[in-house]
Amino acid sequence: MIANQKTIAVIFLIVLSNIFASCQKDQVKIHEFKICQSSSNQRLLKSASEENNETKEFKDSDNQEKKEGKGSQILLPLINMLNLHYDTELYFGKNKQPFKLIIDTGSTALWIPDIDCINCKQNNLWKLYNCDKSSTCHSQNKDDMINIEYGVGSVDGYVVKENIYLSDKDQTGFEYEFLLVKNVTNFKVLQIQGIIGLGREESSEFNHQTILGSMKKKGVIDQRVFSLFLSDSSCLGNSVLVFGGYNEDYTQGPISYISVNTNEMWSVEISQAALALNTQSDSSNQNEKKKSLLQFSTDTVIIDSGTTKIVLPKPDLSALMDLLKQDFGIVCELEKRSASAEIFTLVCAESDYLKYPSFIFTLGSTPSEQKEFELTGEEYIESCFYHLQVRKCALRFQYVETDYILLGDTFLRKYYTIFDMDNQRIGFALAKVIQPKPFYETPIFSAYLGLGITIGFLLFFLLMCKIRSIWQERNFERLHSVKAQADSPPNTTGPDDLHSHQRPGHIEMQQGNDQSIEDPNDISEEISQDDISDIDQSQNKNQQSYRLPVQKKE
């Protein structure tokens, strides 16, 4: 029975391990933030033809479909990591080792941690890459280190050339130069596996071709264009990165293109900024906008997917705080909310969303291309909380040492953005609102349901085994008790007690068809002759009482 229980336990563990392995492969991965799990096997590779503007799935093994027609596109799902950053998964080397990379339009370099990184694990970069174990990986000079500085943090690494695959089923991939990082600084907060830079080619950190240019050169895409649709649904893969063009299914309304104003970054000119609040006129029922202009110290706005919020230079953030207080009665202050970096967030002593004005800014250098963009209070308020019995709200405005305005994911979640490197422009369209599926329709629900059914079945099976074990133990105890009674010697304490015991040759038919037989030789020789006579008479009576009927012969 113990062996059977061990076998059942082993089967139970094997089934659970298979279920969890399947969940890890299919679902939002509980990783750095212990909440999200990626869905790498749900990665979609699709091809779109410019002639009919339709997007269709293609097989990774059929490379001709990728290159069919002008404007072929590749769609990669992005995982929203708690509204902090958006990750996609690429595969490296012959063994197709997967890495989750932050999408960053503010830089151009792609890097992942090297196996010999001296402090990656201390900075929560646990997944490392060993170039020596890949036959397609070639390093130029490991001692020639390149440094890349970010707004927060920096990395040092050497250049390697390796094959990159967009899917674990992709059989071709493309060769690309990137960095294997051996030293990182101040990346504990992000807890990432690497970064893929999608910045302008003219600003390359080490004079190499960007991944967009390399994909076009290898024939993977036909245009140096990519677009971003960022959903606000955390831990789900319904955000999308499109290589080779854009998909109008994610837009609502027209696309407005604005020319870039620098040769190095995805930046455009900001011509005006204002705060506006809808107010109701006393003379009519129509709403009027109370508008207050903001005077910024810079006229350059960088569209940066690697930035979580909206970053303003210190003078501009101070001007915003003064205007909120003077014109709208909202008192705000700067709070340092990161222990590892000099990042200050705007926190205001007002919890009513309706009292916050809209943030309106006009982008474009010429009147023909100027376009207004708006973020409402509900869209730029991050969270509200109580502090010293006062309810406050943290806004998605930050101050970092910079000379530019950075429009990060807070802006990109509202506007579908097209980065056109061939035509040196950026396109904006109001993003379509995609409602998240009900939980019972999500893959993770199916996984949990299957896990629950499996556990329930195994528990029922174990319960049946336990019941059977208890029944067998009780039956064994009963048989053992009967056998013990049969094998135990009779009581021979005296003649007076003998009448209560069986005599030599006596066979008693007990209830349950059990038989008790005593050996005549066990009777004590000290019994008197009179007692023997009494015993014989009693035995004869008992034998007559229990005599079985004899079948008559015909």
Distance in angstroms (rounded) separating the CA atoms of residues 28 and 237: 8
- Residue 242 pLDDT class (50, 70, 90 cuts): very high
Percent over 90 (pLDDT), the chain = 42
Taking only the tens place, the pLDDT of each residue in 494-551 is 555 444 444 444 444 444 444 444 444 444 444 455 555 555 555 554 444 444 444 4
> Domain spans of the chain?
42-247, 260-430
Around Cβ 350, how many Cβ atoms within 10 Å?
Answer: 19
User: What pLDDT shows up at residue 100?
Assistant: 94
User: What pLDDT shows up at residue 241?
Assistant: 96
| 554 or 405: which leads in pLDDT | 405
Taking only the tens place, the pLDDT of each residue in 464-488 is 988 988 888 888 888 878 777 777 7
Taking only the tens place, the pLDDT of each residue in 405-419 is 999 999 999 999 999
- Residue 216 pLDDT class (50, 70, 90 cuts): very high
Contact 304, 102 (CB under 8 A): no
Provide the 8-state DSSP code for 268.
E
Distance in angstroms (rounded) separating the CA atoms of residues 76 and 417: 15
Average pLDDT, stretch 80-109? Answer: 92
- Domain 260-430: which CATH number of 3.40.50.1820, 2.40.70.10, 3.70.10.10, 2.40.240.10: 2.40.70.10
Please say if the pLDDT value at position 490 is more than 80. no
User: What pLDDT shows up at residue 284?
Assistant: 46
Say which amino acid occupies 351. S
Catalytic residue list: 104, 304
DSSP code string of 144-199: --EEEE-SS-EEEEEEEEEEEESSTT-SS-EEEEEEEEEEEES-TTT--S-EEE--
- Residue 394 pLDDT class (50, 70, 90 cuts): very high
Distance in angstroms (rounded) separating the CA atoms of residues 177 and 174: 10
| Listed range (6-10, 247-251, 254-258, 339-343) with the worst mean pLDDT | 6-10
User: What pLDDT shows up at residue 481?
Assistant: 81
**Fold equal for 42-247 and 260-430:** yes
Residue 342 phi, psi (nearest 5): -85, 75
Whose CA is closest to 223, among 482, 50, 92? 50
Distance in angstroms (rounded) separating the CA atoms of residues 393 and 105: 29
Please say if the pLDDT value at position 63 is more than 60. no
Distance in angstroms (rounded) separating the CA atoms of residues 15 and 277: 58
CATH of domain 42-247: 2.40.70.10
Average pLDDT, stretch 97-112? Answer: 94
pTM for the model: 0.69
User: Tokens in use for 48?
Assistant: 């779109």
| Listed range (56-65, 173-182, 195-204, 493-502) with the worst mean pLDDT | 56-65
In order of 108, 226, 229, 267, 362, the CA distances from 260 in angstroms are: 16, 15, 20, 5, 14
| Listed range (18-22, 61-65, 214-218, 362-366) with the worst mean pLDDT | 61-65
Taking only the tens place, the pLDDT of each residue in 267-286 is 999 999 999 987 544 444 44
Whose CA is closest to 400, among 462, 341, 333? 341
User: What pLDDT shows up at residue 7?
Assistant: 58
User: What pLDDT shows up at residue 255?
Assistant: 95
Residue 20 phi, psi (nearest 5): -65, -35
Contact 218, 172 (CB under 8 A): no
| 332 or 38: which leads in pLDDT | 332
Say which amino acid occupies 250. Y
User: What pLDDT shows up at residue 41?
Assistant: 32
User: What pLDDT shows up at residue 510?
Assistant: 44
Taking only the tens place, the pLDDT of each residue in 108-146 is 999 999 999 999 888 888 899 999 999 999 987 888 899
Distance in angstroms (rounded) separating the CA atoms of residues 372 and 423: 22
User: What pLDDT shows up at residue 426?
Assistant: 98
Taking only the tens place, the pLDDT of each residue in 286-315 is 456 678 899 899 999 999 999 999 999 999
DSSP code string of 502-537: PPTT-EEE-TTS-EEE--GGGS-TT--HHHHHHHHH
Residue 539 CB-density burial (10 A; 0-12 exposed, 13-18 middle, 19+ buried): middle
In this structure, is the dihedral angle defined by the CA atoms of residues 313, 315, 320 and 325, taken in order, positive or negative?
Answer: positive
Provide the 8-state DSSP code for 253.
S
Helix H or strand E encompassing 453: helix 443-487
User: What pLDDT shows up at residue 514?
Assistant: 45
